[in-house]
Amino acid sequence: DPAEAEVFPEDWLAQAPGKRVAAILIRVEIMDRDEAVMQERMDEWFVPESIAVARVVDGAAIVASDFRIDPAGNMRFVVFVRPKTGPRRIGRIVQRLCEIETYRAMSMLGLMRARGLTERLNGLDPRLSALVSGLDGVDRPAEAALHELLTISAELESLAVLHSFRFGATGAYEAIVNQRIAALREERVAGRQTFAEFMMRRYDPAM
């Protein structure tokens, strides 16, 4: 329920330092003996078309999410834990989910930067094409062509310097997301897609 996030007062949230990168709501419940009951709850809580479900950490828990932001601005997960599962193991599962979503959100900053960069590169492309096409002509002095070529080269170098850190970070964050999913040791549940399969279809193309 998105209203559960209202436990945090608005003035307290407004005073929180820094910028919010990811907001994650994780519900932890004891695993029901009847798996159909858990399936019904998941279908009620999440969008069935995009839900990802997996049995993780040698059957210690079943985790699920639809990777959609709810009306309160949270990404929601549910963790059904096997009875008598230790708090440390539950904590590690919750930590993995937090890391998956946080680093997934951080890596997507690279996609926004790439889209902005594409516009700049598309603007340089016709200039470079016109310059190359005019090299065979006699109307343009060689010095003028060289000067424009150096100008374009300098702009490309500047763009590379400005964006290399973000793209390098994106690659590192993508690796962390895949490592954390691998650490869950997923097993398929009722024919549903796993987290790894969801990322392969929706996340990998962006990367």
Please give the pLDDT value at position 194: 97
> Does the pLDDT at position 144 exceed 80?
no
Please give the pLDDT value at position 2: 74
**79 in Cβ contact with 90 (< 8 Å):** yes
Percent of the chain with pLDDT over 90: 56
> Does the pLDDT at position 140 exceed 70?
no
Interatomic CA distance for residues 98 and 9, integer angstroms:
22
> Average pLDDT in the 51-62 region?
96
Cβ neighbours of 179 (radius 10 Å):
13
Mean pLDDT highest for which of 32-41, 107-116, 191-200?
A: 191-200
> Does the pLDDT at position 116 exceed 90?
no
Cβ neighbours of 108 (radius 10 Å):
17
